Structure 1
Amino acid sequence: MIEMKEDQIEFLLSKAIDQVKTNGEIQLVSFTKQVNRIDPLVFFEAAKMLEKNRIFWSSTADDFCVVGVGKAYDIVANKSRYNETEKEWNKLLQEAIIHNPYEVAGTGLLALGGMSFDPKRERSSLWENFQPSRFTIPEFLLTKNNNTTYFTINIQVTKNDHPKQMLRACKQAEKKLFNTFIKIPQGVGIKSKEEKNPEAWKHSVRLAKEKIEKNEAKKIVLARELRLELKNKAEISAIIDKLIKTQATSYIFAFENGNDCFIGATPERLVKLEKNQLLSTCLAGTAPRGNTKEEDTRIGISLLDDEKNREEHDFVVKMIKRAINDYCTDIDIPGKPVIYPLKNLQHLFTPVIAKLKDKYSIFDIVRELHPTPALGGTPTEESLAFIREHEQLDRGWYGAPIGWLDSNQNSEFAVAIRSGLIKGDKASLFAGCGVVKDSDIEAEYEETNIKFLPMLSVLGG
């Protein structure tokens, strides 16, 4: 591992402390260095020794992974969450002392987090540890980008801090985090399963169909919950390990807050920004994988030809185009979807490429895109009103935007599906489906069962 430049960090810390004494404002110091390769999952597991919250985010297809440990700063917003978060983030960027000679995506000052699906929905006790919007700047950050590894320390200083003491504490923490002898624990098994109100959920699907048949909506997405009792307290590292091995084309994520962890493997990108280059994804329309190559191909062709799924997919394509039209130029959307295969499922997929106009940000796009018709329905307000009245659960962060943004003008958000909330030896899994005029209630129910599979399988079900 490359040695920390102690005198350089000590100088930055002293400078920050002097600034705090002068202006009394919050002062963040961020220092990034390149380090020898370490398995991000080993780093994540080692972080347990620091007894701090952990965050994991990876995109195997992009050879990108970040692991956050602890909290240097939290951006929490309740009402105007997009505006409040952007305002506070921009203020931090202006005032922070950032030493990052690499300026690689995912390094430097970086915030990771998410928000609830519907801020108008009253929060239940299930999601008591997850605010309507929360983005954390980790105290320690490991970034793996294109086979190169970086380590970032983010520190919030006060006027009474001492640089040498702070530096000593950082070195002690770093030594624990880079303990390569750490072993990933074994997975857990499922003791029991309980579907939460399946008949009531089917009734809500029936009511949604009636509303659509009256032309009061075109599509309504309804989610349901599967409660699990595990044989032992869940080992988050073991679950992530299995998700990485079984869901290679998805975003793997885990957000710890207190004793709870929201975790999953979502295939659905909401939006990615590299400077002003925007990439979004239309992912709607679902079918299972086949047992043989021939069966798999046959199911894929059937999905491409299926009127119900193509209509559902087209809702998303049109919405994304409409949502970004005022914010972007050079919008490029293919005319037809292709098949996007996962381990357990296959989806209809259409990429969207565009250029973001100078005066707009990632938050403008996320605000316009969420919720997509794939997670809410269309028209948006009518479908959300129906969901609030008839859905049997508080979605919390399920189905909502989760992601990261850095001080190098890079950011990425995904839609938090194929996920679950772990609470010790208990887990709640979530899955939904889009109800349209031709929906078959039992078929929609079976589709949600298929969508439970990615999380069920890694938990031992």
Structure 2
Amino acid sequence: MHGADIDLSGFLEVHAKATAQARNTSRPSLAIWREELGHVDPAALLGPLFERSGRSFFWESPQCGVIALGSSADFGADSAAGPGEADRFAGIRRSWESAMENAVTGGPGSGAAPALVGGFAFAPRPGTMPGALMWLPRVLIARDRDGRTTLSLSVRVDPGPATSDAAVRVAAEAVALLSRAGGHPCNPPRQAGTTLTEIPSGQEWKALVARAVEEIGRGAFDKIVVARQLRVSSPTAYDVPSVLAALLDAQPGSTVFGVGLDGHAFVGATPERLVSLHAGRAESMSLAASMPRGGTAAEDARLRATLLADDRSRREQGIVTQAVRHAFEQMCRHVELDEPYVLDLPNLRHLHTRIVGEIADPDVVSVLDLVERLHPTPAVGGHPREPALAWLDRAEPIDRGWYAGPVGWMNAAQDGDFAVALRSAHLRGGIATLYAGCGIVAGSDPGGELQETWLKFRPMLAALAVPESHEPPLQEEPENDHH
């Protein structure tokens, strides 16, 4: 399908009905139009996606591809009932349901296609990016696992006099975007003059890990995930589409995501799904314990077997598995768990367990309800949750921002898919702030954990074209840990 084939008359008809509804109810109304497209690869639209709009979203997972441009309506922290953790998710759900009461939808496209996109900070407080923000894009293109592609167009109509100009402009945006479909952007070039700054320093972070081990020994918590930053300064601004293209090329099987907000970008390639909900079926995973890949096939096989047989790694992953299972059992009539297996990534491997549940009351459960129950899992926060998070709030010397928070999408029926934003970076001009963390348990070695953070920085450093010569050498095989 070409951009000129968009059914503008159908969209204008929906817009006219929304205009009448806004006048009759004295409330804003949303006009939402969906239609099927021919095959469109969302990654082929990366180039123009982040050029002009204050809102951009990209998502490429094994199950779904999404690109989104602009915003017709924001649903964020200001729409929530308060600053608390649960209010971030419940408030957005309430605001979305209220907006949909006065929405007019139409078109032959799939109603199961994504509607809202966005994400949440790790903790319920704003930083360089909002503590919570999901939005209804003006233009959204989504491809499902069967290759079907849906175009969604939306406009907010306020009460009072209105014309069709806004709908025409949105359709023109879609035509312009589709007309520029092409190949993946080129990977970023290597640049001289790039500098790296560790926050906190390696020695300071090892001291923090040692303090966490002491707290575990005193029984304050069983496990805690301690994070750090790596600030990469480049003489020129980073090109977000090029960074995302490099992640797509280098991290097959991961979910590659990009969120653009008014000159800020948050990007990553995460191996970890937080939760998906589709037709009453919820799916999550327990991802814990880390080990590097081997240099030869024989070494790789040995490391895989070592990780699978390691008692400490199995116990660490068991903490995460039981927490996810408990959250599912509160909302599901039936929960199934696979046996743990080793998930191999390009430069790391983890223990992985798939967890599936059948929602007991699918007509009332939203994917945001599941996100609220699960976040943060012990894989990124700690266990027990409350004392671990309280200690991190006091002791961790960085603001995580959206690192390790939920990022994803939700459709009109409140099904959706959210990932844990790992292996990620915040980009602003020529400054990239990378994040990595380690799961600390009894017996964790601070030196080994420090080396593990560098392994976790590597995917993003490679996407930013930072030479490995800028990194400290790894002296020994790191201890097993997670995130």
Q: TM-score, normalised by structure 2?
A: 0.89
The 10-residue stretch of structure 1 (417-426 or 21-30) with the greater mean CA deviation from structure 2: 21-30
CA distance in 1, matches of 2:204, 2:215: 17
CA distance in 2, matches of 1:351, 1:217: 25
Q: Deviations over 1:124-175 (max 9, x none)?
A: xxx32x1111101111001122222221101111245645423432332223
Q: Match for residue 343 of structure 2? A: 340
CA distance in 2, matches of 1:339, 1:52: 40
Q: 1:229 and 2:230 equivalent?
A: no
Q: Match for residue 470 of structure 2? A: none
Q: Match for residue 72 of structure 2? A: 72
CA distance in 1, matches of 2:154, 2:168: 14
CA distance in 1, matches of 2:410, 2:69: 16
User: How do 1:176-255 residues align onto structure 2 when only pairs under 5 Å count?
Assistant: 176-180=176-180, 184-189=185-190, 191-197=194-200, 198-255=202-259
SS of aligned partner of 2:220: coil
Q: Match for residue 312 of structure 1? A: 316
Distance 1:49 1:422, change over 3 A: closer
1:379 counterpart letter in structure 2:
P
1:113 counterpart letter in structure 2:
G
2:35–2:110 CA contact under 8 A, matched in 1: no
Percent identity for Structure 1 against Structure 2 = 29
Q: Match for residue 142 of structure 2? A: 143
C-alpha RMSD of the superposition: 1.8
Q: Match for residue 90 of structure 1? A: 97
Which runs of structure 1 show a deviation greater than 6 angstroms over 4 or more consecutive aligned residues? none
Find the partner of 1:19 among 5, 18, 21. 21
Unmatched tracts of structure 2, length 5 or more? 467-483
SS of aligned partner of 1:178: helix
CA distance in 1, matches of 2:181, 2:66: 20
2:9 counterpart letter in structure 1:
D
1:188–1:235 CA contact under 8 A, matched in 2: no
Distance 1:49 1:378, change over 3 A: closer
Give the superposition deviation at 1:309.
1.5
Q: Match for residue 426 of structure 2? A: 421
2:189–2:465 CA contact under 8 A, matched in 1: yes
Q: Deviations over 1:9-56 (max 9, x none)?
A: 222111111111111212111111122333323323223454342110
2:50–2:241 CA contact under 8 A, matched in 1: no
CA distance in 2, matches of 1:209, 1:432: 15
Give the superposition deviation at 1:325.
1.2
1:46–1:176 CA contact under 8 A, matched in 2: no
Q: 1:133 and 2:138 equivalent?
A: no
1:189 counterpart letter in structure 2:
R
1:23 counterpart letter in structure 2:
T
User: How do 1:117-128 residues align onto structure 2 when only pairs under 5 Å count?
Assistant: 117-119=122-124, 123=126, 127-128=127-128
Distance 1:271 1:171, change over 3 A: closer
Give the superposition deviation at 1:185.
4.6
CA distance in 2, matches of 1:258, 1:311: 43
1:9–1:167 CA contact under 8 A, matched in 2: yes
CA distance in 2, matches of 1:303, 1:259: 41
CA distance in 2, matches of 1:303, 1:47: 40
Find the partner of 2:262 among 258, 271, 285. 258
Distance 1:259 1:276, change over 3 A: same
Give the superposition deviation at 1:307.
2.1
CA distance in 2, matches of 1:93, 1:224: 40
Q: Match for residue 29 of structure 1? A: 31
Give the superposition deviation at 1:188.
4.3
CA distance in 1, matches of 2:142, 2:440: 40
Distance 1:186 1:215, change over 3 A: closer
1:30 counterpart letter in structure 2:
I
1:345 counterpart letter in structure 2:
L
The 10-residue stretch of structure 1 (425-434 or 227-236) with the greater mean CA deviation from structure 2: 227-236
The 10-residue stretch of structure 1 (423-432 or 83-92) with the greater mean CA deviation from structure 2: 83-92
2:109–2:151 CA contact under 8 A, matched in 1: no
CA distance in 1, matches of 2:245, 2:142: 17
1:430–1:452 CA contact under 8 A, matched in 2: yes
Q: 1:349 and 2:352 equivalent?
A: yes
1:289–1:344 CA contact under 8 A, matched in 2: yes
CA distance in 2, matches of 1:345, 1:388: 28
Distance 1:95 1:329, change over 3 A: same
Unmatched tracts of structure 1, length 5 or more? none
User: How do 1:397-408 residues align onto structure 2 when only pairs under 5 Å count?
Assistant: 397-408=402-413
Give the superposition deviation at 1:441.
1.0
CA distance in 2, matches of 1:225, 1:49: 27
CA distance in 2, matches of 1:408, 1:103: 11
User: How do 1:436-451 residues align onto structure 2 when only pairs under 5 Å count?
Assistant: 436-451=441-456
Q: Deviations over 1:344-374 (max 9, x none)?
A: 1111000001111214322222112111111
SS of aligned partner of 1:394: coil
2:291 counterpart letter in structure 1:
A
Q: Match for residue 106 of structure 2? A: 99
Q: TM-score, normalised by structure 1?
A: 0.93
Distance 1:5 1:163, change over 3 A: farther
